[in-house]
Amino acid sequence: MNKIKFTIDGKEIVAEKGITILEAAKQNGIEIPTLCYHENVALYGACGLCTVEAEGMPKLMRACSQKALDGMVIHTSSERVRQSRKIALELLMSDHTGDCVGPCRLNCPAGTDCQGYVKLISEGKFHEAVKLIKEKVPLPASIGRVCPHPCETACRRQMVEEPVSIAYLKAFAADEDMKENTYIPETAENTGKKVAVIGGGPAGLTTAFFLRIKGHSVTIFDAMEKMGGMLRYGIPEYRLPKKVLDNEINQIASLGIEMKNNVKIGKDILFDELKKDYDAVVIAIGAWNSLSLRCPGEDLRGVVGGIDFLRDVALGKNTSIGKKVAVVGGGNTAMDACRTARRLGAEEVYVIYRRTRNEMPAEKIEIEEAEEEGVTFKFLTNPDEIIGENGKVSKIKLQVMELGEPDASGRRSPVPVEGKFEFIDVDTVIMAIGQKVNVSGFEGVELNSKGIISADEKTFRTNIENVFAVGDATNKGASIAIAAIGEAEKASKVIDGYLLGMEIPYRKPFVSEKEVTPEMFRDKEKISRAEMPCRSAAERAKTFDEVNLGFTKEDAMKEASRCLECGCHDYHECKLIEYANWYEIHPERFRGDKNIHEKERRLVSVERDNSKCILCSLCVRTCDEVVKKGILGLVGRGFTTTIKPEFEDEEILSFCKDCKKCAEVCPTGALKIII
């Protein structure tokens, strides 16, 4: 009898006698991980990933070499098997040196594939670039204009000269896409599930966008006249034209998302009603209240919060600020406020900041442009008292500061210089020192010690069964827009699982990262970063027209071509990283020396990076058994073993140039076809 019966994970298998467990599993749609197996070459058993457990057998066995026996009961994911595979993967990754993705993407709170879309822009594929961006960010034209681009902070191009202009390139591609065939993603078939999103800012719009794509019915409720949140009411027109924001919001609405404005929770509709009427409720209300200075006189007329000031300007309210304005704070909101004050006609605008210029959290370009527009910076000063006449602010008393010892963040703490003060005549004081959440109307939702909504960081769930929370209103409080977008995109996956009856908490993907030094880029040609054309300081201080004038197609493509393409070419197909993310691995447990190799091209059409090699020997065996050339071989013994080619003559070299089969079977990206 040539047939046998056995079970794999409870599934009865009927197969030919002599078949391996791995082959039987593949034939029946059961995936057992392996990195060294290929049907065209002899068994090798090097990676140790294909271990399985059979009832009655004391030891685990390798599925690639173990023959299936009649009556066997095999488990491919028991706890013993999982632990064995985890250790095997940790050992492999402990000596695997390479970047799965570029540092730009790792430093982006939304995990945007910066390298991918920059590459597409360099090739003139703007529509495709936007399609890739919108896998993570539904508002690329808006975010590309206002994001403080942490991606660029991590860009390795600065080890050559300057980082790639990643954020501006995002805005450029989105602008080009909106001129012609705007990319709108398709939505899945309707699931019949209803979601209420409270808040139409970047977090709320993003949550709605991704949940609608997954087929859920979504309604956004927002207290303001128009959607956009802080992008509309907290970012000045000269940085983000509202016609750009409107266009992107209309694109989101076109997916079939219902948007209801002027709806105040607790007044126009009760929170309890939404919980009953919708399968899931997402709180994305942002942080709309300004923090107070906690100094005498802040209740005088003419003292206003930074967010309140910017919101009034965006709403077109009569903002009478006088000729002399002091803005307290050192972040981007403070820069928006002081530059807006200049555009409203203030002749003297001061920024009061208790630390030095070097400690200012605002973007460098925002500080420089504010100075160019006539803003005066008063560093190492802090409001001690706001003085008024007839209930209206008239002066601000400043305590002179000096830097003391570093605080918990590493910055040197400012301390008062005893008895030393300055006085400035002012008509308006704008407090731009931070934001807090207004949770009125959301009774029953648990708050943390700071009065911010408490949500689980992996499931985004609040203390209420079907209520989730994302963005500035949760946990850590106000941050940058791209952080709110990133959290919302992650939450949408968890909420989608919840609506379908599954509990799938967010888990940060494991990736391999490579340490680099400037010396590694010494051979790169120095190419200056493209300069963003902008209006002159004299012109822009008088108008709310957009400051930046945008790249030309030629400049954008040239700038994008500066990318060093740090991330692995094989990331999306790499079996090693795929399996590493099946389990929660910690290769740092086996931290030690690593084999570091230079990339080389002795194979002519294939670039080899043995730092990524796991010695599965698939390339060697394919060259030997399939191609019948034996050009590749294992060299050395033990830890220092590596794979190298041996060219005996020009004929072999010529053959190798056109073969490339070694690269086609590589499971880790160690071999890259370049021709």
Convert the pLDDT of each residue in 54-101 to its tens digit.
999 999 999 999 999 999 999 999 999 999 999 999 999 998 989 999
Task: Specify the pLDDT at position 617.
Answer: 93
pLDDT of residue 158: 96
pLDDT of residue 318: 73
CA–CA separation, 200 vs 136, rounded Å? 17
Start-to-end CA span in the chain (Å): 51
Structural domain spans, the chain: 3-94, 103-184+511-560, 194-288+436-499, 290-434, 596-673
- Top CATH class of 596-673 equals alpha beta
**In the structure encoding, which two tokens stand for residue 344, read together?**
């409203």
pLDDT, tens digit, 9 for 90 and up, residues 508-548: 999 999 889 999 999 999 999 999 999 999 999 999 999 99
Fold match flag (103-184+511-560 vs 194-288+436-499): no
Going through 251-380 in order, the beta strands assigned E by DSSP cover 258-260, 280-283, 289-290, 303-305, 324-328, 348-353, 376-379
Tracing tokens 């609506």 back to the chain, one arrives at: 499
Instruction: Name the CATH architecture for the domain at 103-184+511-560.
Output: Orthogonal Bundle (1.10)
Class (C level, CATH) for 3-94: alpha beta
Read off the pLDDT band of 479 (50, 70, 90).
very high
Backbone angles phi, psi at 657, to 5 degrees: -60, -35
* pLDDT tens per residue across span 614-661: 999 999 999 999 999 888 999 888 888 899 888 767 788 888 888 999
The fold for domain 290-434 equals FAD/NAD(P)-binding domain (3.50.50)
pLDDT tens-place string over residues 265-286: 999 999 999 999 999 999 999 9
Per-position DSSP letters for 449-501, written without gaps between them: TTS-B---TTT-B-SSTTEEE-GGGBTT----HHHHHHHHHHHHHHHHHHHTT
Cα 126 to Cα 510: distance, rounded to the nearest angstrom: 30
Measured CA to CA, the distance from residue 307 to residue 291 in angstroms comes to 9
Residues 10-49 have pLDDT tens digits of 999 999 999 999 999 999 999 999 999 999 999 888 899 9
Distance CA(331)–CA(364), nearest Å, equals 10
Cβ atoms 396, 372 nearer than 8 A: no
Supply the pLDDT for residue 30.
95
Helix pair angle (364-372, 332-343), 10° resolution = 20
CATH of domain 194-288+436-499: 3.50.50.60
| Residue 36: φ, ψ to 5° | -110, -5
* pLDDT given for residue 1 in this prediction: 61
Per-residue pLDDT tens over the stretch 360-409: 999 999 999 999 999 999 999 999 999 999 999 999 999 999 998 887 77
